[in-house]
Chain A
């Protein structure tokens, strides 16, 4: 196992003996009876511990499977489905059936093809936002938390500013101007705001971690700041970082669909789950399938992301009772 996979000793549900291997790095070990020796100490890496604990969380595992299926369906399903979103069939406003699993709209578009196209944009945007905020937010949050000083003050002032100026207003102003810039621009501007929230969380984690004894020990041994950050702090912050990314992903989906619903997000000819709901909302009483399918898909994506995040948090830090909000 690499250095990155090692972390602090964590209590597990199985009887294990925790040994402080060194002041700097510690790992969990398990006592098992070997045939020859009385004690055989098998080290388990943090990765294996977390994986084991995550697999015990049934809801999270089921969610992860559904989420992977949803992502796969959204990203590649459109290309494999027999209808294109632009195809006009002869079935007008037909309810869900074998040939049209999600029905059709009044001009005969196969709704499943439209929903797949919408889901593709929504998922693509969410993934771009997750990757960008994950990298940028973590980097800036880590620097601000560890060094304090200038970066920290700037970050906190930006946070203050975003408290006062709702992100919706910023997006609305940008969207009006860059209506023609396409969905990539939307994704980047979402990331441009959401990284602040990610950075604030990671900053908090690094502030608490930098006071730990093992950091002091590492420093006493002459480790450089870079070594402390990459070898000691980052591996220990893996849990909060990953959980943070899941929260941001769900937030990005909700924000993007809301903006698209308001007509300020993804625009024609691209489509998103939010714009589908906005286009077909008048039909909700007469042709309910046009209203329910995209909405349920949004809820399903966010719900599974949230459950996976919850399971991961429990797996990384079983003692924690912090809440996701």
Chain B
């Protein structure tokens, strides 16, 4: 097991290196980090240009620039953004903002997927099963940004409801449609958590709905397969209570592949978070990557890729290890 993990870690580092080379080559060949300077009117002096080029190492050959970046990165220095801020500081804050949304969405999606998947399998070919299947296909076919806009629109209508008999149930806003928090946070811890939660609700529901769809299909298929197995039939024949068969014998076994699928799909959740953040105006990883791409900000882009890359690879590794632990029959070699 240890050998397997070590070997995987080694290949992961190689993949990350290759990804950084690819990204560096693309940014270096496609973009001009000084484009915004050039567009300025009146144009800055030639002297200033030379200074900026030297500061960004643009006067050096590409290979040397990559080497300088790699050297800095391997020493923990992620470099600076084009406007001189520290990349690690920027991304550090953004990462936790995105994590907040992704974790909330993943939890919701797992809960929904298990509920719907198990129900559909147990009541196979019932009206409920067909309705659940249809619903998950609809969410599979829906672009994230449109669902986000849709929920946003409905939430605005909901908040702007007229009063009920003189009572204003929505007077104090509980749902927010922009930003990850209010510009001025309330002081008490309780109110602050409420503020976070109010901002979190709509984006994470959006992300959860587009994520749960494929997971519930998967859980349904797994559950059907397990329910059809010999050991479940044996347990029933022995007279084990139906509920116990369902939970102890069927569900527990059907959860094994589900766990690994969730761990592998975490990367897709974070990718979906990028667009959700854009619609809801959050300043998380999505905002950072859009800025990085727009300005050809090499340091920011590469650090972003490395951070999400480590995250995705980490969860893939966890998925493999989990599978080995949960299902001892599958021996990883």
* A residues at B contact (CB < 8 Å): 157, 160-161, 163-166, 168-170, 172-174, 176-177, 250, 254, 257-258, 261-262, 274, 277, 281, 284-285, 288, 291, 295, 298-299, 301-303, 305-307, 310, 321-325
Q: A169-B293, A277-B149, A291-B153 are in contact. Are A254 and B30 (CB under 8 A)?
A: no
CB-defined contacts of A324 to chain B, threshold 8 Å: 140, 214, 217
For chain B, the bracket of interface size reads: 35 or more
Given contacts A165-B305, A166-B267, A324-B214, 10 further A-B contacts (CB under 8 A): A164-B19, A164-B308, A165-B19, A165-B23, A166-B308, A261-B145, A277-B149, A281-B149, A295-B150, A325-B214
> What separation, in Å, do the CA atoms of A295 and B150 have in the docked complex?
9
CA–CA, A157 and B145, complex, Å:
31
- Find the A residue at minimum CB distance from B304: A169
Query: Whole-angstrom distance from the CB of A130 to the nearest CB of chain B?
Result: 16
Minimum CB–CB distance from A154 to chain B (whole Å) comes to 12
CB-defined contacts of B293 to chain A, threshold 8 Å: 169, 172-173, 176
> CB distance A303 to B18 under 8 Å?
no
By a CB distance below 8 angstroms, the chain A residues around B19 are: 161, 164-165
Contact with A along B284-309 (1 / 0, CB 8 A): 00000110011010000100010011
Per-residue contact bits, chain B 139-166, to A (CB 8 Å; 1 contact, 0 not): 0111111100110010011000000000
Pair count A-B, CB < 8 A: 132
In the complex formed, the residue of A with least CB distance to B301 is A169
Q: Which residue of B lies closest to A277 (CB)?
A: B146
Least CB distance, B66 to chain A, in whole angstroms: 16
Report yes or no: A174 in contact with B30, Cβ–Cβ below 8 A: yes
Contacts of B275 in A (CB 8 A): 168, 258, 261-262
How far is A221 from B284 in the complex, measured between Cα atoms in Å? 62
Which residues of chain A come closer than 8 Å to B18, judged between CB atoms? 157, 161
Contact across chains for B22 and A165 when beta carbons are under 8 A apart: yes
The 3 closest A-B pairs by CB, nearest first: A302-B141, A325-B214, A164-B309
Q: A164, A165, A302, A321: which has the most chain B beta carbons within 10 Å?
A: A164
Q: Which residue of A lies closest to B146 (CB)?
A: A295
Asked whether, in the complex, the Cβ of B31 is within 8 Å of the Cβ of A306, the reply is no
Alpha-carbon distance between A261 and B290 when the two chains are bound, in angstroms: 13
- Chain B contacts for A305, CB-based, 8 A: 141
Query: Does B218 make an interface contact (CB < 8 A)?
Result: yes
In the complex, chain B residues 290-333 whose Cβ is within 8 Å of any chain A Cβ = 290, 293-294, 296, 301, 305, 308-309, 312-313, 316
Give Cα A190–Cα B271 distance, bound, in whole angstroms. Answer: 16
Task: Give the shortest distance, in Å, between B238 (CB) and chain A (any CB).
Answer: 26
Once A161-B19, A176-B293, A322-B221 are accepted as A-B contacts, the answer to whether A284 and B149 lie under 8 Å apart by CB is yes
A160 nearest CB neighbor, chain B only: B15
Assembly CA distance A307 to B142 (angstroms) = 14
Report the minimal beta-carbon distance from B122 to chain A, rounded to whole angstroms: 15
A201 to chain B, nearest CB (A): 15
Closest chain A CB from B277 CB (angstroms) = 11
- Which residues from B are CB-within-8-Å of A176? 30-31, 293-294, 296
Q: Which of A174, A284, A299, A325 contacts B142 (CB 8 A)?
A: A299
Q: Which residue of A lies closest to B15 (CB)?
A: A160
Q: Are B225 and A306 in contact (CB under 8 A)?
A: no
12 A-B residue pairs with Cβ-Cβ distance under 8 Å, sorted by A, are A161-B19, A161-B22, A164-B308, A174-B26, A174-B30, A258-B275, A284-B153, A299-B141, A305-B141, A307-B137, A323-B221, A325-B217
Within the assembled complex, what's the spacing in Å between the Cα atoms of A253 and B267? 21
**Does B27 belong to the interface (CB within 8 Å)?**
yes
Least CB distance, B313 to chain A, in whole angstroms: 7
For chain B residues 34-70, which have a beta carbon within 8 Å of chain A? none
B138 is an interface residue with CB less than 8 A from chain A: yes
The interface residues of chain A lying within 8 Å CB-to-CB of B142 are 298-299, 302
Collect the chain A residues with CB atoms within 8 Å of residue B301's CB. Answer: 169
Q: Could you say which residues of chain A place their CB within 8 Å of the CB of B157?
A: 285
Answer whether residue B109 sits at the interface, using C-beta atoms and an 8 A cutoff.
no
Q: Which residues of A contact B251 (CB under 8 A)?
A: none
Q: Which of A164, A284, A295, A302 contacts B312 (CB 8 A)?
A: A164
